[in-house]
Structure 1
Amino acid sequence: KALQLLEALNEGLKSKQKYQPYAYTQINELMLLVARNQNAFLFNVVDIDGNIPNDFSVNWRNSEHVKQEIYNHLKQKGLLIE
């Protein structure tokens, strides 16, 4: 499912502009996905099953947006140590 998200991101882009899988990491029940092209890194979040969690955006976005979404999610679940 994560690769389908990347395929959707790359739809209509020229081959030099296309994003490639770069890295991923697990944060509790979430998977942070990282894609990159020559100019930028983009991020997305899925659950362990590869689905977009309810309180997250479907769109690939920059690190600041994803960081805020993960922070809010962990805080809401009581998993954040402040």
Structure 2
Amino acid sequence: MESSLFLLAFGLVFLVGGIFWLWMLIDALRRPAAEWEAAGQNQIIHVVVIVVLGFIGAIVYALVARPRLVEVARS
């Protein structure tokens, strides 16, 4: 019983992490090049970081590049 609960919790965390990773990857790929340039960020580097580092790369994108990109898009 304990092991099945652990597997369920692990599966849920893995699923949520995968959805977050995919969301950040799609977000990075859909942003226009002009937004990236105005934000002073490099799209290719961030996409590679997301793909190579997985969930950690998605967190880096969400904390470093995405706030600047959102700010540029709003202005």
TM-score where L is the length of structure 2: 0.32
The structure showing larger relative contact order (alpha-carbon pairs under 8 Å, at least 6 residues apart) is 2
TM-score where L is the length of structure 1: 0.30
Greater fraction of residues in helix: 2
Greater fraction of residues in strand: 1
